[in-house]
Every structure is written in C-alpha cells, then in structure tokens.
A and B are shown apart, each in its own frame.
Chain A
Amino acid sequence: MIEAINVSKSFGDNLVLDNVSVRFDPGMCNLIIGQSGSGKTVLMKCLVGLFEIDSGKVLYDERVFSKMSFDEMRMIRQEIGMLFQGGALFDSMTVEENVIFPLTMFTGQTMAEKVERANFCLSRVRLENVNKLFPAELSGGMKKRVAIARAIALNPKYLFCDEPNSGLDPLTANVIDKLISEITQEYNITTVVNTHDMNSVIEIGDKISYIHQGKLWWEGDKDSILKSDNAELNEFVFATELTRKLK
C-alpha cells in the first residue's frame, strides 16, 4: 500500500499540489485522473521521489519514503517498476538488454538465467522475436510493452504507469490497459496509473482519484464515477459529445 499524506508541492510561486492525501491499495489499479496541468504527473513524481515534496509525507507499506536519504530510497526503488509516458527505453540497448538491465544491476544471475527471465517477461507482455531489435525499430505500443516487461523484471511490489496510453490507438491502448490490470492482479502489485483516457478509467479503474487544480477533488471507482454529481468531475468525464450521449 502507498499513501500520500497532506502532500504539497510548488514550483516557485506556483502551488501545484495542495495538501493532497490519497491511498493506493495493493492488488488493484489505482488511477489518478485529471485534466492536463492538474498536477497528476507531479503527484506521481512526488510518490516515486523524482520530485522532493515541500510538506506532508509519502509512505510505502508504513515506511516513510519521503524522509529517506538517497541511499535508503534506492532500496525501496528496487521494489518499484515504472512505465514512463514515452517508454524511456535505453535507446542504445536492444530490447533484451533493456529488460535484462535491472537484473544485471541487482541480481547475481547468470546470463542464461537473465535471458530466460527476459524472455518470460517479454512473453508475458505478448512480445516474441524482438529481443535483438532496438527501441527505434519498435512501434509505440511495442515500446510500451517492452517498458512494462522491464518494469516487472525484478518482480516489483509497486508499479507506476504515467499515461500508458498516450499516443496509442484505442485497440493498442486497450491491450496495454488489460496487461497492466492482469499483471496487477496476478502479482498482487500496488499499481498507480496516471491517465486522462476515459476508456482506461472504465476498463481498469478499480480505484479512481480525481485531481483538480492541485487538490484531491473526488475518489471512487469506475461504477460510481459515472453516477457522481460532482460538477467538475462530470465536466471532465463527459467532456466529449460521445460520452454525453452515452450518459
């Protein structure tokens, strides 16, 4: 379980997160949703320690992550997998080398064992015969899947996904959503997904936190979000003609 308690973050005079308290539970997809510029990416970066918070605290299973030193944080980070918006694959490495990278750094496995694990992770995200390709040779969806394979290589307890569907067509986006959901349940991972894609919300939103103007505005699940009477949330959820008609 991951908890953010009264987390605030500002850049200069611009208050981006204002006293946000939110809990992310294990074995389910916890979605952070909100408009562009609402502060959801900043919240995610605060959760993983890429941004230092101004006040409040972040806990990983009761461990106060935000007060830890760089070296202590590194121990927790070995339990974290993260899927970045652009994939963030190491472009000078092949697909196989990308997936093997965390294993090389943190395990004493032989090369054969690492390749076996990489093959397992790649097959888990339904990618085969791409081991020797470079990221530049992959499609957007394939890059995301390789990034997921790398993120799960060390059997993480926590998985963060920043806009996993950005730049993907609806079908591929659905494949990525389902993969994230399956992996979350299979390994009982605490998964936090940052998205503004309503398809993802309906598909995998076990728990949803709506961030508006840097504040936690609403919490619920994929069923309650459609019935909410929160004006700002409704404006976000039913922003398109299609969703309004569906409502």
Chain B
Amino acid sequence: MIKGFLFHIGRYILLMRQVFKKPEKQSIFIRQIMVEVDNLGVDSVGIVAFLSTFMGAVLCIQTAFNIDTPLIPLYTIGFVTRQSVVLEFSPTIISLILAGKVGSRVASELGTMRVTEQIDAIEIIGINPATYLIFPKIVAAVIVNPILILMSMIMAILGGWMAGIFTGLVASSEYVYGIKAFFESYDIVYAMIKTVVFAFLIVSISGYHGFYTKGGAFEVGTSSTKGVVHSSIAIIVFNLILTNLLLS
C-alpha cells in the first residue's frame, strides 16, 4: 500500500513537471483558459449560490436556537454566521462540493480522451498533452474559484439575513451589526489562500487520475471517482495544515 502511494506521489510530481512547461502558443493557451473558466467556473455559479444561500440560512437559525440566555447579545447570530461562512463553510465545504463537480468533470474528460487515444494524438502531433490539457484548467480554477468562494460568502451571509428576518429570530440591524463586528480582513486572506490551494488540488489530482486512465468506460468511471475521493481527502488534510500554519 505504501509502495503504491509513493508510486502515485512520484508520478503525480513528474506529471506536474510536465504540466508547468511553457505552452506551445500563448494565444491558444489564453483561449483555453477562457474556455475552462466558462466550463469550470461559470457552470458552477448556480449550484454554489443555491447551496450557500441555504447553508447561510441554516447557520443563522441554528445559532439563534443555541442562544438561550439573554446575556448573549443577538448580534452574535450575525457574527457567528459570518465567521463560520468566511473561515470554514465557503472555502472548505464549497471546495469539497466543487471537488465533486469539477473534479469528476476533469477526470472523466481526460480519461475519455486517454482511452480514445486523443491524448496520444495530441502527443504525436508534437504537443505536450499535459501542458495543453491540464495547465489551462489549473489556471482557470485558481482564478475562478476565489471569485466563486467570495460569491458564496456573500450569498451565505445574505441567506442568513433573510432567514433571520423572515423567522423573526433576529432584527436586521442586529444581524448587520454582527456581520461587521470584530471583522478582521486577514480572515478573508486566509480563506482565499485556502481556496487557491484547494483549487489547485482539485484540478491537478483529478487531472492526474484522468490523464493516466487505462482501459475503457468502466475505468473512466473509476478514474472519475478516484479523482473526487482523492482530491476531497487532500482538501481535508491541507485544510488542517493550512489552518495550523495560517491561524496559529
């Protein structure tokens, strides 16, 4: 098992060395990034907005129900919702959801290209397939995921505000005060650093599994599953490492 793990780590590093080589043509590379921004980012806006709004609403209601003493001010609801959303929910949980959506897409796309010899065809033409196929996806995810996560934060806080108002658990002024209270801009920086690292992990790990797919349709499915599972595990592990490094 350890031998297999080390084999995959070694091959992953070698693949990344191939990925980060100079692209054949800058104009094509930029066009590829734009296509991937659309594929990986714009396509995810709906699901991220939906999940964030409802999760923010749930956070607000749960916090309100856990405040059972008048000694705790009601603006705590807004404060706790913001802190939970900014520090953990948006960067980590949304990244895990994106690992499922984007990771499976990347792994199955590359896996299908591998088993239908399209990657071999790219290589035979004289193009580095790792750079051509994976590099633009990584760049696109690193650009677009922070935007998605910022949007998620806004939607979740708005969701919490709506839930607080409509259920009558907290007044708008108190929630908004809580949102602003004890705000530290470093929390956003911390969330963005995590998001960028997670974006890289999602695409590179899923890309790795897709790129080295062998076999047929069944194996493409297996690669897709492995891409999602392994990138999710990597996100959880790196979440702990980064939190320890950046907040301690």
A interface residues with partner B (beta carbon < 8 Å): 48, 50, 70, 74-75, 77-78, 80, 82, 84-86, 88-91, 101-102, 104-106, 160
A80 and B124 form a contact (CB under 8 A): yes
Q: How far is the CA of A160 from the CA of B121 in the complex (A)?
A: 11
Residues of A within 8 A of B25 (CB): 104-105
Residues of A within 8 A of B18 (CB): 70
Residues of A within 8 A of B24 (CB): 105-106
Nearest neighbor of B109 in chain A, beta-carbon distance = A92
Considering the complex of A and B, which 3 residue pairs feature the smallest CB-CB distances, nearest first? A77-B126, A88-B117, A88-B121
A50 and B124 form a contact (CB under 8 A): yes
A77 and B123 form a contact (CB under 8 A): yes
Q: How far is the CA of A103 from the CA of B128 in the complex (A)?
A: 16
B124 and A85 form a contact (CB under 8 A): no
Q: Provide the main secondary structure of the chain A interface.
A: mixed
Count of residues in B whose CB is under 8 Å from the partner chain: 15
B interface residues with partner A (beta carbon < 8 Å): 18, 24-25, 28, 116-118, 120-121, 123-128
A75 and B126 form a contact (CB under 8 A): yes
Q: How far is the CA of A48 from the CA of B125 in the complex (A)?
A: 11
Report the minimum CB–CB distance from A159 to chain B (whole Å): 11
Residues of B within 8 A of A104 (CB): 25, 28
Q: Decide: A48 near B124, CB < 8 A? Known: A105-B24, A105-B25, A105-B28.
A: yes
Task: List 18 interface pairs A-B (beta carbons < 8 Å), by A numbering.
Answer: A75-B126, A77-B123, A77-B124, A77-B126, A78-B125, A78-B126, A80-B124, A80-B126, A82-B121, A84-B117, A85-B117, A88-B117, A89-B118, A90-B121, A91-B116, A91-B118, A101-B125, A104-B28
Q: Which of A78, A86, A105, A106 has the most CB of B within 10 A?
A: A105
Report the minimum CB–CB distance from B216 to chain A (whole Å): 11
Q: How far is the CA of A160 from the CA of B120 in the complex (A)?
A: 13
Residues of B within 8 A of A75 (CB): 126
A84 and B128 form a contact (CB under 8 A): no
Nearest neighbor of B117 in chain A, beta-carbon distance = A88
B123 and A86 form a contact (CB under 8 A): no
Nearest neighbor of B24 in chain A, beta-carbon distance = A105
